[in-house]
Amino acid sequence: MELDLVSLLEQSALGAEMRGSIWLYPLFNVVHVLALLIFFAAVATMDARLLGSLGQMAVADVLRPCRRISATAFVVQATSGMLLFSADAAAVSVNPVFLAKMLVVGLALANVVALESRWGRALAHLPVGAPVPAGARLCAGISLAGWLAAAALGRLIAYA
């Protein structure tokens, strides 16, 4: 993100309100963390199924509801994260831990796209008990590692 846009965001009424209110920043920080918990629970459930757990359930029966939950939680995280970012955008935008987090989030999202584009249709029709393709299992492992890394980096931003 260009530094001028970052400075504009930080100097905006939104940035000022996020910095100036004794309630807004802590509220959205809690919302961000709660959305993270919900997001990761849904992602971990999907990935666990792809890795072989919950084998008595069809893959699609696990993925379908968990996708909706994780997508909704991701939108809440992105929105609350942007609000938190606006309070100190100039400093955070050059924080190496924040930059690493954004890179990891981008890679994790690319992994989702790879999984869906390559194996999404096959997984939707995979019968109970059928083996999950090795590539889909690899994507599940990458997903778990990527989202855990993003969460850890997010918590470390304040300490960098």
Determine the pLDDT at residue 160. Answer: 85
Question: What is the token pair recorded at 58?
Answer: 């069809």
How large a percentage of the chain has pLDDT more than 90? Answer: 92
Mean pLDDT of 48-54: 95
How large a percentage of the chain has pLDDT more than 70? Answer: 98
Confidence bin at 139 (pLDDT 50/70/90): very high
Tokens 């249709």 — which residue? 121
**Model's pTM, two decimal places?**
0.92
Checking if the pLDDT of 78 tops 90, the result is yes
Confidence bin at 138 (pLDDT 50/70/90): very high
Alpha helices in the chain (DSSP H): 3-11, 13-20, 24-50, 59-87, 89-92, 96-124, 134-156
Tokens 């924080």 — which residue? 95
Mean pLDDT of 41-65: 95
Residue 135 CA to chain centroid, in angstroms? 21
Determine the pLDDT at residue 1. Answer: 46
Mean pLDDT of 57-80: 97
Question: What is the token pair recorded at 44?
Answer: 């971990």
The beta-carbon contacts of 27-30 under 8 Å, at least 24 apart in sequence, are 28/80, 28/83, 28/84, 29/80, 29/84
Tokens 């995280």 — which residue? 77
Checking if the pLDDT of 71 tops 80, the result is yes
Mean pLDDT of 32-48: 98
Checking if the pLDDT of 7 tops 70, the result is yes
- Tally the domains of the chain: 1
Query: For residue 85, which of 150, 94, 146 has the smallest C-alpha distance?
Result: 94
Confidence bin at 82 (pLDDT 50/70/90): very high
Mean pLDDT of 64-74: 98
Quote the domain boundaries for residue 37: 3-159
